[in-house]
Chain A
Amino acid sequence: MGGLASVLAPIAFVNETVLRLGRAVGVVAIALMVIAILIQVFFRYVLGNALPWPDEAARFCMLWMTGLMAPTAFRRGGFVAIDMLQRFLPRLLGQSLNLFLLLISLIVLLVAVNIGWSEVTGFGGRFATAALYLPTSFGFDEWYRIPRSWMMASLLVGIILLISVNIELILRSLITMLGGAHLLPEIPEAAVGAE
């Protein structure tokens, strides 16, 4: 169990740090989404001149917000599940089931990361976004058209973070099964849902 705990500690530290950074970027992303759409509303309805970029920029931010913030929710038990069976099962059986479910999730994520990588680096990712540009000079006279792969990378990054969280949860589950639940650092719970 000591070995597992020493493997868990650095993974938990990395997850904690990276996900905190992810949440910070996610907060900026959701604020930018609102600003982009409000700019669009102002230009379209007040000035009568719709801009080409706000809708796409807002979607760009929303995808990154999702990729960077969903892993925190997963880590905090915020992914919706019917966990009644686990609660009713005897302790060890319930914990084994939990481990089994985490392993299925890991398989899904590993398949997804494989496909995600080929999607981002493949044909679809080579296209450019419709209206997103980055200035590449201080005089704003040179612009780089953002490739679609930058948007697609949001899901890939999200899956990679989910894998990292999943591995941490598997280790926590193993330590709990071996009777070391009291050694585990607490993870705050998240209440999430559209309800």
Chain B
Amino acid sequence: MLIWFLPTFLVFLLIGLPVFFALLAAPGILLWLNGQTNDITLLYRNVYNGMDSFPLMAIPFFMLAGELMNRGGITIRLVEFSQALMGHLRGGLAHVNVLSSILFAGLSGSAVADTSALGSMLIPAMEKQGYTRKFAAAITAASSVIGPIIPPSGIMIIYAYVMGESVAALFLAGIVPGIMVGVGLMVMIKFMADRYDFPVASRKYTWDERRQASLKAFFPLMTPVIILGGILGGIFTPTEAAAVAVGYAFIIGFFVLRTLTLKEVPEVLSNAGMTSAVVLLLVGAAMAFKTVVSLSHAPEQLASLILSLSENPFILLFLINLLLFIVGMFLDAGPAIIILGPILGPIFTSLGVDPIHFAIIMSVNLTVGLATPPMGLVLFVAAAVSRERVETIAKAILPFLAVEIIVIFLITYIPALSMTIPRITGFAN
């Protein structure tokens, strides 16, 4: 009977109950009907124990570091650096937009922060150069999904915690897919630039000018080096690396660049705190949900159902990508990972798919979902930043989504793309 908690949960979710309550209400009701009232207390304990975790602390820290970087005038330095490298190409500002997203991804790990920070700067600049507003908003939204793929990444910390995987392995596995999304978008821009005669953004910079731009961007660009270097070198745990990133961002913004004021700090702390509080509560509820998932033997039953469709892992991975893509259209990446990770992860691991590889397939697919209509979060942020209608951006983003779907299938069927770096560095088998 307990297996019925899954359809109950789906109904709750589809009628609009907040995910946090749905994660608790569905198993709670079924446990109560089953007479397992003691296990309802267990649900509560698991919410608390799920939140009381040292690794999870990396989430508020990375959010805080991203907010501090953004306030500290670091975004503009990244854009200037990108312009010095790519501004002279046809479609220069569109390329700058993508490259800035790749660089920004190494600092923040949030697609929403990327869209709002880069969009508010680059969308008006692109419009001024003759790009349509819908195109500028679309490329900003499409490239922002690189944020949670390239480390650090909030959703990968959540996945690693909920599924008991290594944060470092997931971070490392995200590097190549993130760069592939960026390069793919640039190829599409090149194709469109030649066809629609996009403008160049600036003259070609001299090497001396490029050196100066890179010096200006040096401190922000060192952030991912400190984070990843610290974790890989065994110097810091991911949580400690995140705290160091906060300290570093504060020192850079406040003392070195002097663009951050003390007056701004409480608001930055409040934003990061409130955002993290919701995520932590969700993760706690997910840990409780996960207990009932195992109690109900749902993964085993679902696995046999899925295996009855096909036993070929290639076909199953195709189907699962389809499912994740559809889910991503309606649900944000974090909650989707929290809900589906404990159900799908064990099934595919038992089919021989490496857990880190599956984590990356899931994370990238659901992250791309952030830019898909009708409920893509970054589409709404891009619409707010650009004052363009969501429907219009949703149409303009289609060529870029096609590129991202191709990348999803490449990383699905060529595991080496994501697994090589974690394997070389000894973080995956």
A38-B243 contact in complex given A33-B57, A116-B44, A119-B45, C-beta closer than 8 Å = yes
The answer to whether B16 touches A26, judged by C-beta atoms less than 8 angstroms apart, is: no
The answer to whether B375 touches A82, judged by C-beta atoms less than 8 angstroms apart, is: yes
The answer to whether A194 touches B279, judged by C-beta atoms less than 8 angstroms apart, is: yes
Cα distance A30–B61 when bound, in Å? 9
Residue of A whose beta carbon sits closest to that of B333: A195
Is B53 on the interface with A (CB-CB < 8 A)? yes
Q: Give the interface segment out of A61-69, A138-146, A176-184.
A: A61-69
Q: Could you mark each residue 329-340 of chain B with 1 if its beta carbon is under 8 Å from any beta carbon of chain A, else 0?
A: 011111100000
Find residues 328-358 in chain B having any chain A CB closer than 8 Å to their own CB: 330-335
A84-B375 contact in complex given A33-B60, A62-B56, A79-B18, C-beta closer than 8 Å = yes
Find residues 135-167 in chain A having any chain B CB closer than 8 Å to their own CB: 151-152, 155, 158
The answer to whether B332 touches A97, judged by C-beta atoms less than 8 angstroms apart, is: no
Where chain A touches its partner, the secondary structure class is helix
Is A134 on the interface with B (CB-CB < 8 A)? no
Contact partners of A37 in chain B: CB under 8 A: 57, 61, 239-240, 243
Contacting residue for B17 out of A29, A30, A81, CB 8 A: A81
* B230 CB to nearest A CB, Å: 9
A41-B28 contact in complex given A30-B64, A33-B57, C-beta closer than 8 Å = no
* A78 CB to nearest B CB, Å: 6
A30-B240 contact in complex given A59-B57, A85-B15, C-beta closer than 8 Å = no
Q: Could you mark each residue 158-193 of chain B with 1 if its beta carbon is under 8 Å from any beta carbon of chain A, else 0?
A: 100000000000000000000000000000000000
Interface residue tally of chain B, by bracket?
A: 35 or more
Q: How many residues of A contact B (CB 8 A)?
A: 60
Find residues 10-30 in chain B having any chain A CB closer than 8 Å to their own CB: 12-21, 24-25, 28
* A4 CB to nearest B CB, Å: 23
The answer to whether B374 touches A105, judged by C-beta atoms less than 8 angstroms apart, is: no
A193-B52 contact in complex given A38-B244, A79-B18, C-beta closer than 8 Å = no
Residue of B whose beta carbon sits closest to that of A25: B273
The answer to whether B273 touches A65, judged by C-beta atoms less than 8 angstroms apart, is: yes
The answer to whether A194 touches B334, judged by C-beta atoms less than 8 angstroms apart, is: yes
Is B138 on the interface with A (CB-CB < 8 A)? no
Cα distance A104–B12 when bound, in Å? 10
The answer to whether B48 touches A191, judged by C-beta atoms less than 8 angstroms apart, is: no
Residue of B whose beta carbon sits closest to that of A190: B274
Is B308 on the interface with A (CB-CB < 8 A)? no
A82-B60 contact in complex given A34-B247, A59-B52, C-beta closer than 8 Å = no
24 contacts between A and B (CB under 8 A): A27-B266, A33-B243, A41-B236, A41-B243, A45-B235, A62-B280, A66-B277, A66-B280, A69-B274, A73-B275, A78-B278, A80-B331, A80-B332, A80-B335, A81-B17, A82-B16, A84-B374, A86-B16, A104-B25, A108-B28, A112-B44, A192-B275, A194-B158, A195-B334
Contacts from A to B (Cβ < 8 Å)? 23, 26-27, 29-31, 33-34, 37-38, 40-41, 45, 55, 58-59, 62-63, 65-70, 72-74, 78-86, 97-98, 101, 104-105, 107-108, 111-112, 115-116, 118-119, 124, 151-152, 155, 158, 190-195
Identify 17 new A-B residue pairs, CB closer than 8 A, beyond the known A33-B243, A67-B277, A194-B333. A23-B273, A26-B274, A27-B266, A34-B61, A34-B246, A45-B236, A59-B57, A65-B273, A73-B277, A73-B278, A78-B274, A85-B14, A85-B16, A115-B40, A119-B45, A195-B112, A195-B155
